[in-house]
């Protein structure tokens, strides 16, 4: 069985997802958590120090699943990529009928003129095309022209980063599939197609930051970052109950729930109970009801702040997905229903990281193929009539 994998590196851990390749599509198999995060290290140094651990995890998967991992895709840590919009008028060699093969030349021409010599384009999202004074969302296949105006969103990284990541992985006999930006990885962890009509957004809650990725009509509209994540929730618990950070983290991992108490009896949430924790030789009792209530309100306030960024979407229907460190907590889906006004979805698989989204997009690149749509039949017939007469 042929497989691929995706690596998501967070501040405190790495997530490595594996997928089987069936009918040219990735099918999720499993995720492995590696308890070593990048912290404040440089990506290349961290990867050089830990690629051996990644290699061992891949070998273990291959042995257990009788599979061969063909390549690894790496999610770029947030902030390493650069996004900018570029526009060029591309002159063809002669007046000709546009076909699908022209898109490669058009995209390369734009990249060659828009990028610095040491930049590498990891994503190229065509926004619109102009032919004979008309504008099209998709490449107008079948039109005759000598010039095509193209406007695209380019996501770039320094070429040395891509090259050195490939070299590090190759040194450990790991075939490098490519880099995937953080926002695109988050989006692809939930959605697997480019919806050309609606707005879709993903809120990804990481360790020390959260990210909002918005895709409007199949085009990446924006990616925003926010100072909220698991670390902030842990610090909030520590402040509220005057306990050390490490102890607060243990409480976050073992006891935190978003379930609300529903009254007496067996149907009630265990939130009315207390936990006893030991700090510096002294036992401290903490009410789960107080703990969960304090965290619920704190999380609610921060998620509302993130969702407030969607007010700029002009009142259209929006689907919002939530991904990351809070998804595995009891009652999180119910908490969202209490205050999120948008249609809400949670990932069907691998809710805690975007490692699967990284490998899925690395393989399929569906957001970059929206330009491949054919003209409607009526337009093609109209164009044929004009050409003939």
What confidence category does residue 152 fall into, taking pLDDT thresholds of 50, 70 and 90? Answer: very high
Assess whether 74 and 86 both reside in one domain: no
Structure confidence by residue, pLDDT tens digits, 30-49 = 999 998 899 989 999 999 99
- Give the residue ranges of DSSP H helices in 255-368: 288-307, 332-339, 355-364
Residue 214 to residue 310: CA distance in whole angstroms: 8
- Grouping H, G, I as helix, E, B as strand and the rest as coil, residue 153 is strand
Query: What pLDDT is attached to residue 379?
Result: 55
Query: What pLDDT is attached to residue 218?
Result: 84
Assess whether 230 and 246 both reside in one domain: yes
Assess whether 102 and 202 both reside in one domain: no
What confidence category does residue 262 fall into, taking pLDDT thresholds of 50, 70 and 90? Answer: low
What confidence category does residue 314 fall into, taking pLDDT thresholds of 50, 70 and 90? Answer: low
Assess whether 170 and 53 both reside in one domain: yes
Assess whether 69 and 91 both reside in one domain: no
Structure confidence by residue, pLDDT tens digits, 226-256 = 999 999 999 999 999 999 999 999 999 999 9
Query: What pLDDT is attached to residue 266?
Result: 47
Tokens representing 260? 């609300």
Q: How high does pLDDT run on average in the chain?
A: 89
Tokens representing 255? 């006891």
Structure confidence by residue, pLDDT tens digits, 106-137 = 999 999 999 999 999 999 999 999 999 999 98
Assess whether 59 and 167 both reside in one domain: yes
Assess whether 69 and 37 both reside in one domain: yes
Residue 180 to residue 276: CA distance in whole angstroms: 44
Q: Treating both helix axes as pointing N-terminal to C-terminal, what angle do 245-254 and 230-241 enclose, rounded to 10 degrees? A: 110
Structure confidence by residue, pLDDT tens digits, 61-76 = 999 999 999 999 999 9
Locate tokens 């619109």: which residue? Answer: 128
Print the domain residue range for 94: 82-158+369-388
232-236, 255-259, 261-265, 382-386: range with highest mean pLDDT: 232-236
Residue 343 to residue 333: CA distance in whole angstroms: 12
Assess whether 154 and 175 both reside in one domain: no
Q: Domain with 203 in it: what CATH number? A: 3.30.420.40
Structure confidence by residue, pLDDT tens digits, 337-369 = 999 999 999 988 888 899 999 999 999 999 988
Distance of CA 111 to the CA centre of its chain: 24
Distance of CA 196 to the CA centre of its chain: 19
Structure confidence by residue, pLDDT tens digits, 179-228 = 999 999 999 999 988 777 789 999 999 999 999 999 988 888 889 999 99
Residue 389 to residue 386: CA distance in whole angstroms: 5
- Grouping H, G, I as helix, E, B as strand and the rest as coil, residue 198 is coil
Residue 151 to residue 153: CA distance in whole angstroms: 7
275-284, 321-330, 368-377: range with highest mean pLDDT: 321-330
Q: Domain with 134 in it: what CATH number? A: 3.30.1490.110
Residue 323 to residue 205: CA distance in whole angstroms: 6
Query: Which DSSP category does 77 fall into?
Result: P
Closest CA to 367 of 181, 204, 157, 226: 181
Question: Which residues lie below 8 Å from residue 9, measured CB to CB, with a gap of 6+?
Answer: 37, 38, 43, 46, 47, 74, 75, 77
Residue 38 to residue 241: CA distance in whole angstroms: 29
Cβ–Cβ < 8 Å for 291, 256 = yes
Assess whether 204 and 272 both reside in one domain: yes
What confidence category does residue 96 fall into, taking pLDDT thresholds of 50, 70 and 90? Answer: very high
- Grouping H, G, I as helix, E, B as strand and the rest as coil, residue 260 is coil
Assess whether 108 and 232 both reside in one domain: no
Q: What angle do CA 95, 98, 99 make, to 5 degrees?
A: 140
Number of domains in the chain: 3
Residue 117 to residue 279: CA distance in whole angstroms: 56
Assess whether 381 and 272 both reside in one domain: no
Assess whether 166 and 111 both reside in one domain: no
Query: What pLDDT is attached to residue 101?
Result: 87
Residue 192 to residue 215: CA distance in whole angstroms: 12
Look at phi and psi of residue 304 and say left if phi exceeds 0, alpha if psi is from -120 to 50, else beta: alpha
Q: Treating both helix axes as pointing N-terminal to C-terminal, what angle do 159-171 and 43-65 enclose, rounded to 10 degrees? A: 40
Distance of CA 243 to the CA centre of its chain: 34
């Amino acid at each position: 069985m042929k497989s691929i994998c995706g690596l998501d590196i967070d501040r405190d851990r790495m997530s490595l997802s594996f997928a089987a390749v069936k009918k040219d599509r990735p099918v999720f198999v499993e995720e492995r958590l590696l308890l070593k995060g990048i912290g404040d290290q440089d990506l290349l140094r961290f990867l050089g120090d830990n690629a051996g651990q990644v290699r061992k995890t891949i070998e273990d998967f291959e042995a257990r699943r009788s599979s061969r991992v063909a390549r690894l895709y790496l999610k770029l840590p947030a902030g390493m990529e650069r996004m900018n919009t570029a526009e060029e008028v591309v002159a063809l060699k002669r007046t000709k009928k546009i076909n699908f093969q022209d898109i490669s030349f058009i995209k390369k021409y734009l990249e060659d003129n828009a990028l610095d010599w040491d930049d590498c384009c990891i994503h190229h999202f065509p926004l619109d095309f102009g032919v004979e004074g008309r504008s099209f969302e998709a490449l107008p296949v079948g039109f005759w022209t000598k010039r095509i105006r193209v406007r695209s969103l380019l996501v770039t990284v320094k070429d040395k980063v891509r090259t050195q990541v490939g070299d590090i992985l190759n040194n450990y006999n790991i075939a490098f599939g490519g880099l995937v930006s953080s926002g695109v990885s988050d989006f692809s962890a939930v959605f697997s197609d480019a919806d050309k009509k609606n707005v879709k957004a993903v809120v990804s809650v990481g360790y020390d930051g959260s990210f909002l990725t918005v895709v409007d009509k199949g085009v990446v509209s924006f990616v925003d970052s926010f100072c909220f994540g698991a670390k902030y929730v842990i610090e909030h618990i520590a402040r509220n109950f005057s306990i050390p950070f490490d102890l607060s983290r243990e409480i976050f991992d073992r006891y935190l729930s978003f379930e609300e108490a529903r009254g007496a009896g067996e149907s009630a949430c265990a939130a009315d109970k207390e936990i006893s924790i030991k700090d510096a030789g002294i036992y401290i009792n903490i009410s789960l009801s107080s703990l969960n209530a304090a965290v619920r309100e704190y999380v609610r306030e921060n998620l509302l702040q993130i969702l407030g960024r969607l007010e700029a979407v002009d009142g259209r229907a929006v689907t919002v997905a939530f991904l990351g460190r809070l998804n595995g907590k009891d009652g999180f889906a119910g908490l969202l229903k209490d205050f999120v006004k948008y249609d809400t979805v949670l990932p069907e698989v691998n809710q805690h990281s975007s490692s699967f989204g990284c490998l899925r997009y690395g393989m399929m690149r569906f957001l970059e193929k929206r330009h491949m749509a054919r003209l409607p039949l009526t337009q093609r017939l109209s164009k044929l009539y004009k050409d003939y007469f």
